[in-house]
Amino acid sequence: MGAKGTDVSRNVGIDAMAFHGPHCYLEMADLANVRGVDPNKYIHGLGQRQMAVATPCEDTVTMATVAAYRALKRFDIDPGEIGTLIVGTETGVDHSKPVAVYVHDMLGLAPNCRTFETKHACYGAMAGLTSAMDWISAGRARGRKALIVASDIARYGLKTAGEPTQGAGAVAMIVGEKPRLLQLDPDTFGDYTRQVMDFWRPLYSKYAFADGHYSIDCYLDAFTGAWGDACENAGTWDRLRLDQLAACFYHVPFVKMARKAHHRHCETEWGDTVTGDDEKMVQLKASYDRQVAPWLELNSVIGNIYTGSMFLSLMDYLRKAEPAGGERLSLFSYGSGCGAAFGTGVVTDSATRYAANIDPAEHLARRKRLDIERYEQLITASETADHNEAPYPDPADWDLGPGLYFVGTRNHIREYTGSASDTL
């Protein structure tokens, strides 16, 4: 029986996860040096060491498809078991046609699979995850699973304030009953929405516009709002208390943002502002070092992947923490504009067994380092690579090796080469 008195399935959560990102990356120190900025600003001030950079042949379709293929393969799930596919993205490839339908085709999913794209800046995938949770809890899945993919390329443009907070990548999650990784607790989820102009990307622009410092304030206010709603939904904040949480995951546009979010989390729960170096600050720092900081390694070397950013931290935890099972984790997703959700889940007894299936270390180790000249060429080439009849972007130009790639637009139709199974 569910908390609201309806007969709903409660054992729902994340059964499988995988990541795929671009084959190239930039060292943040190299970017700082060429922009005349102290590297410590990017490395310590923002918390970023490296940034994944998508070539013109890698888009939200190819990254989403490979991540999803990996999740299916590594967790031994038949594509025929997928009954819902949702791609959360704010950098889709078409104003009308969803990324999800390309992914559906490339993975060979069943025709009766419900397929769509969700967009609400960086909140899109969390919206997909909670919709999948509701779909299964409501008994509509008929034993099938939902595939949720967060796929984005964060583009602010060369020499902008947002340039060091770019990145790219896709996280695929398969949601089902009796999950192997994380059981979601629907009664602890809360929502928040408010119309604000902190970050947006008009239809005519490949690059996002942001009022950066204001967006940080909006994010923090959204945390307070969503957390408050979660407490109301739970009827008590017992299960949400910080001392009940083994780890806290936040939307991570840059690593330092997680520290700011955790600061607000502590202040909201404690009902007090924490400044200076008093005892509360010592407590706050200890809590950050234990519950947040250890799980930001993937974010620091991949960068901002927009809607998948929070899930990267969750993956980092699941690949490294060796949880025994029963640990409660909090998830906070923020999408500019703005929409947000806070909720919790409980790690399953089997999660540690799948740590290696989740770990993207092999993929990251194969990435190629770009020098600044190549990085700037690549960003410029990406601006027009998908224009109709533009010269074919060639994976060999970027030394990409076998894989699934975008190769240009002909007769206004996007063309792809290779397959997810070819991708290293």
Ligand X SMILES: CC(C)(COP(=O)(O)OP(=O)(O)OC[C@H]1O[C@@H](n2cnc3c(N)ncnc32)[C@H](O)[C@@H]1OP(=O)(O)O)[C@@H](O)C(=O)NCCC(=O)NCCS
Q: Does 153 bind ligand X (CB under 6 A)?
A: no
Q: Which residues contact 19 (CB under 8 A, 6 or more apart)?
A: 67, 70, 169, 170, 171, 172, 298, 308, 312, 315, 358, 360, 363
Distance separating alpha carbons of residues 100 and 106, to the nearest angstrom: 10
Beta pairing, strands 145-154 & 82-88: parallel
Q: Does 38 bind ligand X (CB under 6 A)?
A: yes
387: exposed, middle or buried (Cβ count in 10 Å: 0-12, 13-18, 19+): exposed
Shortest approach of ligand X to residue 165 CB, angstroms? 4
Return the number of other C-beta atoms located less than 10 Å from residue 221's C-beta.
17
Q: Does 93 bind ligand X (CB under 6 A)?
A: no
- Based on CB atoms, which residue is closest to ligand X, 45 or 294? 45
Q: Does 225 bind ligand X (CB under 6 A)?
A: no
- Based on CB atoms, which residue is closest to ligand X, 226 or 257? 257
- Based on CB atoms, which residue is closest to ligand X, 161 or 286? 161
Q: Does 219 bind ligand X (CB under 6 A)?
A: yes
Distance separating alpha carbons of residues 219 and 208, to the nearest angstrom: 17
Q: Which of 3, 8, 35, 41 binds ligand X (CB under 6 A)?
A: 41
Shortest approach of ligand X to residue 33 CB, angstroms? 13
* Chain CA centroid to CA 7, Å: 31
Q: Does 194 bind ligand X (CB under 6 A)?
A: no
Catalytic-residue membership of 90: yes
Q: Does 40 bind ligand X (CB under 6 A)?
A: yes
Q: Which of 204, 213, 277, 362 binds ligand X (CB under 6 A)?
A: 213
| Whether 195 contacts 337, CB under 8 Å | yes
Tell me which amino acid residue 337 is. G
Return the number of other C-beta atoms located less than 10 Å from residue 194's C-beta.
13
Q: Contact region for ligand X (CB under 6 A) — 102-110, 226-234, 254-262, 295-303?
A: 254-262
Of the residues 24, 122, 248, 266, which is catalytic? 122
Q: Cα-flanking dihedrals φ and ψ of residue 54, to 5°?
A: -80, 135
Taking the CA atoms of the chain, what radius of gyration do you get in angstroms?
20
Shortest approach of ligand X to residue 51 CB, angstroms? 12
Of the residues 251, 262, 265, 363, which is catalytic? 251
Q: Does 233 bind ligand X (CB under 6 A)?
A: no
Shortest approach of ligand X to residue 7 CB, angstroms? 39
Catalytic-residue membership of 338: no
Q: Does 171 bind ligand X (CB under 6 A)?
A: no
Catalytic-residue membership of 231: no
- Based on CB atoms, which residue is closest to ligand X, 292 or 321? 292
Q: Cα-flanking dihedrals φ and ψ of residue 225, to 5°?
A: -65, -50
Q: Which residues contact 243 (CB under 8 A, 6 or more apart)?
A: none
Q: Which residues bind ligand X (CB under 6 A)?
A: 38, 40-41, 44-46, 161-162, 164-165, 210, 212-213, 215-216, 219, 253-254, 256-257, 336
User: Any idea which residues carry the catalytic annotation?
Assistant: 90, 122, 251
